[in-house]
Amino acid sequence: MSKKFFLIDGHSHSYRAYYALPPLSAPDGRPTNAVLGFVNILFKILREQKPDYIAVAFDCREASFRHVAYAEYKAQRKAMPEDLSHQIEIIKQIVDACNIPIVMKPGFEADDVIGTLAVRAAGRGIDVYIATNDKDSLQLLGEHVYRFDSAGNVYTADDLRKEKQIEPGQVVETMALSGDTSDNVPGVEGIGEKTALQLIQQFGTLENVLANIDKISGPKRKERLARDTEVARLSRKLVIIDTNVELGVDVDDCTRREYNAARLLDIFRDLGFRKHAADLSKDVEAAAPAAAPQDRDYHLVDTWEKFQGFLATLKQQKEFSFDLESTSTRPMEARIVGFSFSWREREGYYLPLLGPSGGVLPEKEVVDALKPILEDAKIGKLGQNLKYDSLVLRNAGISLQGIVFDTMIAAYLVDPGRLRNNLAELAMDFLGERKTRIGELIGKGKDQLSMNLVDINTVCRYASEDADTVWRLAAVLKPRLDELGEERLLREVELPLMQVLQEMEWNGVKIDVPFLQKMSKKISADLVEIEEEIKKQAGAEFNVASPKQVSKILFEKFGLTKSKKTTLGYSTSASVLEALSDQHDLPALVLKYRQLSKLKSTYIDSLPKMINKRTGRIHTSFNQTITSTGRLSSSDPNLQNIPIRTELGRDIRRAFIPSGPGAQILTADYSQVELRLLADMSEDPTLMAAFREDKDIHAFVASEIYGVELKDVTSDMRRKAKAVNFGIVYGLTPFGLSKGIGVSVGEAREFIDAYFRRYGKVKGYIDHVIAEARERAYVVTKLNRRRNIPTINSTNEQERRFAERIAINTVIQGSAADLIKVAMNNIYSRLISGGHAAKILLQIHDELVFEVPSAELLFARQLIEREMTNAFTLKVPIKVNIEVGPNWLEAK
C-alpha cells in the first residue's frame, strides 16, 4: 500500500476559514475564526487520514515571478484583512508546534511549492493529496496525485476526464483562454470557462486554437482570439504551476513526526479552543509520567477495624486534604460514596461507604465519627472545589469548618485566564504528572456508571490520588500566591466567600410555577401568531426557526442587503436583523420570534424542570473561577443572563418569590459602582464632586460636555453621556460609541475627546493603567487581584488596542467584584453570628437578592446598606439602592 503525502495550501484554507466562520475571539480578545477553521481541517487530516508525510505551504510577502511578468497580477485583490494577517501568524505557530514543515520560497507562490513537492513524491510512488479548493491545482492531477478539498472529497485525474473530458495538462490551456478572475489573469475577452473548455476539447491546446481561428464559429470570437493572442499566451504562463522550484526541503524532510502536544495545549488553551485542548490533553497525559504504583502508598480502609486505626491517626493531624466520591455532580442530589484523605506526599486513604455489592463501611457510624473532625475549625482542611464537598457533607449532617486552602481557587488566582481548573489539568500543569480522569473509571455518555458501581480497589487508587494530588498541589501553589501577593486575597476574601456561596446554593430560591405556566401558554399563542404573520409577509412556507431558510427568504427572495456569509448562508444574527429592520418588516418579526422562543425554552419552560424535588427550590451554582475579572458567574441555571431590557424578560423575575409566608424579597443594588471606583482611582475632582453632591451623574456629565445648565440637559444628551460614562470603563472606542448612540465616528471621537478634556485626570489615570500594564504585562485590582495581559505589547495594533481595553476594564470591573465579595462576606458573617433568619439568595453582578422575614426588614435594610457602603473606603460615597417586594421584579 502506497504511503500518503498531504500538501496543505495554508493561505487557501486560512482565507476560506476566515470568510466561512462567524467572528470568533479568544478569551483575551484576539480574533480566531480563521485559526479555528484551519485547525479543524488540519487535525481532521492528521487524525483521520494519518499521513506518512505532510507539509503546509504559504505564499511569501515578496512578489512572485508572475507579478514581474504581469504587473496587474492579483492587483484587484484587497489587502489582507488585518485580523486575518495576525491569525495566519498564529496558524504558523500551530503548524510549527505540530512539527510540520512550513515551506515557502521568495519569488514563488504556495502552488509552486506544492507542485514541486507533489511531482517529486509522485515520482517515488507516494500518493499525494493536495489539500486545497483552488482550481489551479487540477493541472497537477495524475497517477499518485489527487486533490483533497475542505469537505474531505478526493478528486482524481479520472474524475476530471469524466467531468470535463480533458486531461490534467489541459487545465492550463482552458485557463489561458478563460483567464482567472480571482488572480486577475486576463484570458481572452468574452471567453468564459464553458467556451474555453469546448475549444480545448476540440483543439487540444491553446496554440492549436490560435492556429485554427478560421475554423472557430462566431465572428466576434474569432476577432477577439486574433486580437488577444499574446494576452492568452501570457495568461498561460501565469497559470502554469512551476514544479521545479529549488526549495531546500525534500520529501523526506516532510516525514510525519509527533507534534509537541504540551506546546499545542498551551496555544489551544490561550485561544479558548476547548474541544481541541481536551483532545490534546489526552495526548499530553499519555506522554507524561504516570505515577508508578510503588511510588504511592494508598490504603483501602474497608473494615471497621481498619477505620478505627485510621481515625486515631487522623485525629493527630493539624491539617489534611480530603475529597469525596459521590453519586452525582449536583451537590444537592449527591450521596457520599466514599471519603479520601492525605496528609503526606504520595500517601492516601480511601474509606468506601458504597460499592458494587452495596454498603462497605457503615455509613452513619463513619459520618458520625468524622463529623467532629470535619467540623473542628482548628484542624485545617485542604481540597479541590470544597464548595461542592461542603454541600454534599451538609446533606449528610456535617458543617465543614476549618477550610484553609482550595487548589481550584488558588490556581485561578495565579492565572485567572486559565480555561480549566479541574484537578487533572492542575496536576499536569503544576506537577507535570498524568492523573487518572474520572471518565476512565465511570465512562461517558449513556454507558456512564455511578461511582458506587466501580470496584472499590480501583476507586481507592483514584480517590487517594485525588487527595494526594491536592496535598502536593498546595505545596506548589502556596508559594506562588505568596510570590504574587495574593495569599491574603485567598485567605480573607475568596475562601470566606466560598462559604457564603455554599450557603446561597443551599438556600436556593423558590419559583412560582403556576405563574410561569401561565406565561408559557401566553407566549406559545404569541409565537403562533408571529409565525403566521412572518409566513404571510414572506409569501412562503418555511421553517422560521431555521437560520438557513430565513437567510434565503431575506437575501434571495427579498434581496435585502447581504451580511457576512457563514456556513449556513448569509448571517441572520440579531445585530444583522436589527440593521435590516429599516429595509423590511420581516427581520424585526423574525427577531421578535427568536427572542420569545429563547425566553420560553431557556427560562419559562426550563426553570420549573430544575426545581429540586426534595427542597422545592432551584439551586443555581455560583462559580468563583470562571471570569477573568474576578466577577462571579452562575450556571445550572444561569440566573445572571435573565434579560431585563424587555418587559417580558423582566416579568420572569416575578416568578422568583419568598419560600414562606410573611417573608419578602429584598434587593440591594450598587448604584453606578464602577463609575464611583473610576472617580476614586482617578481622583478627578469634578467627577468626585458630582458623586459627593449626589448629582445625576449622566445628566451632570452631559451638562459639562455640552456646556449647558443641568436643567437644560435633554434626554438625548443624557443618553449619550451615559454611553460615554459606562463606555470609558470598558475602553470605549469612537467606532463603538458611534454604533451605540447613532452618530458618525467623527462625532463620537469628538464626544470622547470633549469628555477627556473636561475630565483630564480620568484620561491621565487610564494612560497610567495602560503604561503600567505595558511595563508589567499584567494589571491588579484594589485587592491585588492579578490578570495577565500578554498581548499588551503586541505589534498588531488591533490586538494591542483590545488588550488596552481589557487592562482598563479589569482594574475597574475587577475592583467592583472585589467590593461586592467583601460586602457579601461581611453581611453573611453578621447574619450568621446574630442568628438572624434573613437569607442571601442570589448575586447578580452588582446586585444582591435576599429573603427576609417581615419582622427583620428594618434591621436587614440597615445591616445590608451599612455593610455594602462600608466594604471599601473610597474618596467618594458608595450608594446602594434597596427595594422590598413580594417577588424579585417588584423589589426592583
CATH of domain 674-814: 1.10.150.20
Report how far residue 697's alpha carbon sits from residue 828's, in angstroms, rounded to the nearest whole number: 31
Strands 778-780 and 569-570: unpaired
Domain boundaries, the chain: 4-254, 288-484, 674-814
Please tell me the least confidently modeled range out of 71-80, 329-338, 612-621.
71-80
- When pLDDT is cut at 50, 70 and 90, the band that residue 643 belongs to is confident
Question: CA dihedral in degrees (121, 125, 128, 134; nearest 10)?
Answer: 80
- The DSSP code sequence of 374-399 is HT-TTSEEEESSHHHHHHHHHHTT--
What local confidence, expressed as pLDDT, does residue 72 receive? 73
697 grid coordinates: 451623574
Is the pLDDT score of 369 beyond 90? yes
Report how far residue 384's alpha carbon sits from residue 632's, in angstroms, rounded to the nearest whole number: 18
pLDDT average, residue stretch 540-569: 79
Cβ–Cβ under 8 Å, residues 407 and 382? yes
Is the pLDDT score of 67 beyond 90? no
Please tell me the least confidently modeled range out of 2-11, 260-269, 533-542, 594-603.
260-269
Report how far residue 115's alpha carbon sits from residue 121's, in angstroms, rounded to the nearest whole number: 10
Q: What are the pLDDT digits (tens) for 674-733?
A: 999 999 999 999 999 999 999 888 898 889 888 889 888 898 888 888 888 888 777 777
- When pLDDT is cut at 50, 70 and 90, the band that residue 69 belongs to is confident
- When pLDDT is cut at 50, 70 and 90, the band that residue 134 belongs to is confident
Question: Phi, psi (5° rounding) for residue 521?
Answer: -65, -40
Q: What are the pLDDT digits (tens) for 426-474?
A: 998 888 887 777 767 676 666 667 777 888 999 999 999 999 999 999 9
CA dihedral for 559, 565, 568, 571, sign (positive or negative): negative
Rg (CA), the chain: 33
Q: What are the pLDDT digits (tens) for 249-266?
A: 899 999 999 888 878 888
Q: Residue 840 contacts by C-beta under 8 Å, 6 or more apart in sequence? A: 500, 503, 504, 507, 824, 827, 828, 831, 848, 849, 850
Query: pTM here?
Result: 0.77
What local confidence, expressed as pLDDT, does residue 523 receive? 94
What local confidence, expressed as pLDDT, does residue 568 receive? 56
Give the position of cell 456561596.
501
Give the position of cell 497525559.
285
Query: Residue 577 burial by CB count (10 A; 0-12/13-18/19+): exposed, middle or buried?
Result: buried
CA distances from 281 to 162, 439, 466, 770, 859 (A): 45, 13, 18, 35, 52
Cβ–Cβ under 8 Å, residues 497 and 383? no
Highest mean pLDDT among 146-150, 543-547, 601-605: 601-605
Report how far residue 73's alpha carbon sits from residue 772's, in angstroms, rounded to the nearest whole number: 47
What local confidence, expressed as pLDDT, does residue 493 receive? 97
Extract the runs of DSSP E, i.e. beta strands, from 494-545: 510-511
Please tell me the least confidently modeled range out of 722-736, 767-781, 820-834.
722-736
pLDDT average, residue stretch 4-22: 88
What local confidence, expressed as pLDDT, does residue 689 receive? 92
What local confidence, expressed as pLDDT, does residue 569 receive? 65
In the DSSP assignment, the letter for residue 45 is: I
Report how far residue 375's alpha carbon sits from residue 663's, in angstroms, rounded to the nearest whole number: 31
Tell whether domain 288-484 is in CATH 3.30.420.10. yes
- When pLDDT is cut at 50, 70 and 90, the band that residue 28 belongs to is low
| Residue 834 CB neighbour total at 10 angstroms | 11
- Domain 4-254 fold is Rossmann fold (3.40.50)
